[in-house]
Copies of this chain bind each other. A is one copy, B any other.
Amino acid sequence: MMAQPQQERSRTTRRRLVEAAVECLAEHGWSGTTVAVIAERAGVSRGAAQHHFPTREDLVVAAVVQVGEAQIEQLRGQVRKLPSGASRTEYVARMLLDLYTGPMFRAALHLWVAASTDATLLATLGPLEARVGREAHRVALELLGVDESEPGVRETVQATLDLARGLGLANLLSDDTRRRRRIARQWARMLEQALPVPGGNRSGVAFVSKTS
């Protein structure tokens, strides 16, 4: 009879821990993010935190991956609400190039940098991070309305997301919003040149691979 409320409480506890972990990582970095600090921020006992996530690595990696996936899912929800026609590319370019400018990217960045000198953390983070990266790539294809079997499309979409991560980095030490807006405008024009046209209404240029 008590199973449902118990499960619900458990889910709420997990959600609070995950959100607190991302905030804590974004604000204090890896060395300042301990299970005790996260549990206190989440209003959860340290024992309960360790019941859900045995180690700091488990908790923080799960947090960054879950929040990253939720953010991608949110983008996916916007595919049907996009404007049509010429303004679509600029709208999508701006959405994608803003993707890595919030607390979620800060948290992930602290974790990536920590993992680059910590083999245990890397072993946990690596495969999950690769999965989130593939999901981001798929949603970018959907938002841009392009098919990556066309030559050059995959690399153009990859470049878009790598550019977005570079812009996330540029936004780390100071607010880079205005510069990023101008880059997104130019980027939209470059995408219109580089990508085949969804629906075939515009005269985009599909680059043919000269060498493979």
Contact = CB atoms under 8 A, between A and B. Distances in A.
Interface of A: 27-29, 31-32, 106, 109-110, 112-117, 122, 125-126, 129, 152, 155-156, 158-159, 161-170, 172-174, 179, 182-183, 185-187, 189-190, 193-194, 205, 207, 209, 211
Nearest to A209: B185
Question: Which 10 pairs show the lowest CB-CB distances between chains A and B?
Answer: A166-B166, A162-B166, A155-B186, A165-B166, A163-B163, A29-B117, A189-B207, A193-B193, A113-B113, A155-B183
Given A27-B117, A182-B155, A112 B172 contact: yes
A74 to B, nearest CB: 21
A183 B211 CA distance: 13
Given A126-B173, A170-B165, A156 B112 contact: no
A156 B207 contact: no
Of A162, A183, A207, which is in contact with the most chain B CB atoms at under 10 Å from its CB? A162
A152 B161 CA distance: 20
Given A162-B170, A166-B163, A116 B106 contact: yes
Given A112-B169, A112-B173, 6 more contacts: A152-B186, A158-B183, A159-B190, A165-B165, A166-B168, A190-B194
A11 to B, nearest CB: 30
B185 A155 contact: yes
Nearest to A167: B162
A172 B29 contact: no
Contact of A194 (B109, B162, B169, B189): B189
B207 A183 contact: no
Contacts of A165: 165-166, 169-170
